[in-house]
Structure 1
């Protein structure tokens, strides 16, 4: 009887984990001036941001400055991080491709991807998934 319950409980536990909202740890920029955190709404299918990767930007005093809907979907592999120097946010997404935002007046502004930014995005992916 115990074995049957175990086989029933394990799949239910694993299934419930995949249907909860996601919130990453905060990631500090190399300058220490900012932190980012990613969230994904995995539970409210009626919301506009359902399954979207949202980046939340905080200052060094942990005050939320803004949030950015990246346009990346949670159904595919993705990761966020910072460039090694400066305050540039990098997104690696198997869904929409790589993107980057530079902070201007504490607001993220999309910038054109360069070879160096794409390389950083791939490094972030390898750190998370490999």
Structure 2
């Protein structure tokens, strides 16, 4: 029994040493004007963005327009997506709360959360974690 416990602990230790950076699939906005993907730097602890959830925003021609550091830590539950209509990015975070951005002149502008946006954020979370 001791050998099995030691083996399991060794495997868990070794696999935790091989964390990889995270990169999501592209998610197209309902209008088709933009796409987003999220990344998380899980390997370079010296970087300013270590464990931060970063949203990459792309235009209709798949050119990266800008990056948005959400301020969310990867250690918590989070999800990102679009509203059902328009080009509004919605973030659900158990770390810092829900946030939303509209894209204006190729820049994300944070907007005030509404009941509809909070409901969308919670829906996105349920799609990812339930």
TM-score by length of 2: 0.89
Could you list the structure 1 runs, at least 4 aligned residues long, displaced by more than 6 angstroms after superposition.
Answer: none
1:124 aligned residue: 124
Cα deviation for residue 105 of structure 1 reads 1.0
The 1:76–1:8 alpha-carbon spacing in structure 2 relative to 1, beyond 3 Å, is: closer
CA distance in 2, matches of 1:72, 1:85: 24
Q: Cα deviations across residues 26-69 of structure 1 (Å, max 9, x unaligned)?
A: 10000011000000001111110010000000011110000000
Counterpart in 2 of 1:22? 22
User: What residue number does 1:95 align with?
Assistant: 95
Q: How far apart are the structure 1 equivalents of 2:80 and 2:53?
A: 10
Secondary structure of 1:110's counterpart equals: strand
Structure 1, unpaired ranges of 5+: none
* TM-score normalised by length of structure 1: 0.89
> How far did 1:106 drift?
1.4
Unmatched 5+ stretches in structure 2: none
1:86 aligns with 2:116: no
Query: Superposition RMSD on alpha carbons, in Å?
Result: 1.8
CA separation in 1, counterparts of 2:122 and 2:9?
39
Q: Distance in 1 between matches of 2:53 and 2:98?
A: 13
Kindly tell me the number of residue pairs found equivalent between the two proteins.
126
| Aligned match of 2:114 | 114
Task: Give the Cα–Cα distance (whole angstroms) in 2 for the partners of residues 37 and 10 of structure 1.
Answer: 31
Q: Please state how far the C-alpha of 1:14 moved relative to its aligned partner.
A: 4.0
